[in-house]
């Protein structure tokens, strides 16, 4: 039982590169923090997205995305991640390199579904994101999970949009 090896028997491996790099967000979604290991995904680029606080990755030669792999993700947890990533992303199987050992491993990751999206720009940086957006994002994620467990769950994009653009009923509309 006391093995500290990276290999976790059973479950899925998921490469994360955006808001899920934050343990606080993962803990809200999965009710635990899985074992993880720093990893690099080659030939992809991590973009910022206009109007969103989370990033997108799409294939781009000679670029790398640094992130980490979450290990031993169960089927129900993968379902939660799928729902959280919603329609904007598609789950793909990729090969990542572990930073500590250069070992390559198969992992799922969430790739931006619209690879020609004109809202993608620049580069997204986790260290810049954390102090600016993490607290709100954890709150939004908490709302998403409560909805998920409730009788009428909303897609994550709807939860996101209602959280970040609250309906202000006092504003008169033309």
CA separation for the pair 80, 11 (Å, rounded): 14
| Residue 120 tokens, joined | 């993608």
Q: Which of 24, 77, 85, 90 is catalytic?
A: 85
| Residue 174 tokens, joined | 């033309």
Active site residue 85: yes
CA separation, residue 136 to residues 4, 67, 79 (Å): 34, 21, 23
Q: Which residues pair with 162 in a beta bridge?
A: none
Is the backbone of residue 160 left (phi > 0), alpha (psi -120 to 50) or beta? alpha
Is residue 65 a contact partner of residue 47, using CB atoms and an 8 Å limit? Answer: no
Instruction: Give the residue numbers annotated as catalytic, written as ranges.
Output: 85
């Amino acid at each position: 039982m006391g093995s500290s090896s990276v290999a976790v028997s059973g479950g899925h491996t998921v490469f994360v590169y955006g808001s899920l790099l934050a343990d606080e967000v993962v803990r809200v979604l999965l009710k635990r923090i899985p074992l993880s290991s720093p990893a690099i995904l080659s030939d992809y680029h991590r973009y910022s997205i206009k109007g969103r606080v989370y990033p997108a990755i799409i294939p781009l030669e000679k670029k790398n995305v640094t992130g980490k792999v979450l290990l031993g993700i169960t089927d129900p947890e993968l379902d939660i991640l799928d729902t959280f990533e919603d329609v904007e992303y598609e789950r793909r199987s990729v090969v990542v390199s572990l930073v500590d050992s250069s070992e390559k491993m198969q992992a799922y990751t969430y790739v931006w579904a619209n690879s020609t999206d004109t809202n993608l720009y620049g580069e997204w940086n986790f260290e810049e994101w954390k102090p600016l957006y993490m607290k709100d994002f954890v709150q939004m994620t908490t709302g998403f999970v409560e909805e998920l467990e409730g009788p009428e769950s909303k897609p994550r994009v709807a939860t996101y949009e209602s959280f970040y653009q609250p309906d202000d009923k006092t504003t008169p509309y033309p």
